[in-house]
Amino acid sequence: MKPTDAELEILHVLWANGPSTVRQVHEKLSQSRDIGYTTALKFMQIMNEKGILSREEDARSHTYTALVSEEDTQRNLVDRFVETAFRGSASKLVMQVLGQHKASREELDEIKNLLNNLNPDSQDLTD
């Protein structure tokens, strides 16, 4: 349920590219950092054991598929992160991010839009 950093790297590749072989994933990962082929393989084997990835063993080289969605995973991660880093205050996190990171005008508009469409009646006091 809580992917490690290495597992997240692999999930990102699978989310972006769809079902892939170890070789394909390894090639993607190699673009951003040094990593051995068997290291990637091991990760994917472990993730398969954990039930995070499924595996097609038809061909000689297996094809792995993510069994968790990007949204669900990020939701879980955000939950934990808000808890551990911000003691549960999601709004403090948002303000931290907005104050610190840069976003395009379109993204800002999108966020404002989202804010305006939030139904205030469904909102709760978090802090």
Check the CA dihedral 45-59-26-5 and report its sign. negative
Per-residue CA distances from 85 to 8, 45, 90, 102 (Å) = 19, 31, 10, 21
Residues 56-75 as x/- pattern, contact with a second copy by CB under 8 A: ------------------xx
How many whole angstroms separate alpha carbon 71 and alpha carbon 77?
Answer: 10
Assess 33 for contact with a second copy (CB under 8 A): no
Residue 6 CB-density burial (10 A; 0-12 exposed, 13-18 middle, 19+ buried): middle
The encoded tokens of residue 61 equal 């080289």
Residue 67 interface partner, choices DNA, a second copy, none, CB cut-off 5-8 Å depending on type:
none
Nearer to DNA, 39 or 69 (CB): 39
The encoded tokens of residue 106 equal 């379109």
Residues 1-20 as x/- pattern, contact with DNA by CB under 7 A: -x-xxxx-------------
Q: Of 1-9, 33-41, 42-50, 61-69, which part binds a second copy (CB under 8 A)? A: 1-9
Residue 37 interface partner, choices DNA, a second copy, none, CB cut-off 5-8 Å depending on type:
DNA
**Which residues contact a second copy (rule: CB under 8 A)?**
5, 8-9, 12, 74-75, 77-79, 81-82, 84-87, 90-105, 107-108, 110-112, 114-115, 118, 120, 122-127
